[in-house]
Amino acid sequence: MFYLEEELFSSVSSNFAMHDLRFQQPFVQDKELAASLFQLHLELEENGDALHFESRLISIFSRLAERHSEIVSHCPAQTCGQGKIDRARQYLEANYNRNLSLTELAELSSFSASHFLRAFTDAVGLTPHAYLTQLRIEFATCLLRAGTPLVEVAYLAGFTDQSHFTKKFKRILGVTPGQYSSSSKTLRRKAVLKGR
C-alpha cells in the first residue's frame, strides 16, 4: 500500500488543470494502473533508485489524472523551455553517480515534477531515469575498457549494487559486464601485440 501526501496530487494537477483535480468517482478500477502500481511496489523492494521510483510514480498518477479526472487540459509543449531541459541534462551528466530525485531535477527547471517529466521525455526521447541509466552504462564501458575491476565499476558508475548493474548492462548491451570486460582485454592484448 502507498500512502501519498496531498502535495503529490497538487503537483500532478498543476500539469493538467488550472484547478484542483476532481475525480469522477470515489473509487477507480483500472487494471492497467493497478498492475503498474503493483510492479512499482515490487521494484521498490529490490531497488532504491529515487529517480526511477519518483518518475514511475508521477507517470502513474498523471495517467490516473488523465483517465479519471473531470478537468484535464494539457500544458502546451511550447512552454517547456529547451534551455531548462538542457540544464537538467547537464546536471544529470555531472551527477550520474548520485541517487538523484525527480524533485531535484524539476527544481532546476522551475517546473512541477510532473511537468518536468513530460517535458524532458518529449525533448530527449527518454525519461530522466532512462537517460541516467544510459549515462551510467557509457561510463561503465569506459571503466571496463580501461581494465577497472568489475566490483569497482558498479559503485563508480552509480549503480546500487552489482546485480542491478549487471541486469541493466545486459539489457542495454546484450552482454554481461564480465563478457564485455573479457572481450576488451582480448582487444587490448591484440593491440599491444600489433604495436610490437
Domains in the chain, CATH or no CATH each: 7-15+30-71+78-125 (no CATH), 132-195 (1.10.10.60)
pLDDT per residue rounded down to tens, the chain (196 residues): 565 666 666 665 555 544 455 565 556 788 998 898 888 888 877 776 788 888 888 888 888 877 777 543 444 444 447 888 999 999 999 999 998 999 999 988 888 888 899 899 888 888 999 999 999 999 999 999 898 998 899 999 999 888 989 999 998 888 899 988 888 766 555 554 555 5
Is the pTM higher than 0.85? The answer reads no
- What is the predicted pLDDT for the residue at 76? 47
Spatial contact of 143 and 153, defined as CB atoms under 8 Å apart:
yes
Chain centroid to Cα 132, Å, comes to 6
- What is the predicted pLDDT for the residue at 184? 72
Q: How many CB atoms lie within 10 A of CB 68?
A: 16
Q: How far apart are CA 126 and CA 121, in angstroms?
A: 5
Q: Is 181 exposed, middle or buried (0-12, 13-18, 19+ CB in 10 A)?
A: buried
Spatial contact of 15 and 63, defined as CB atoms under 8 Å apart:
no
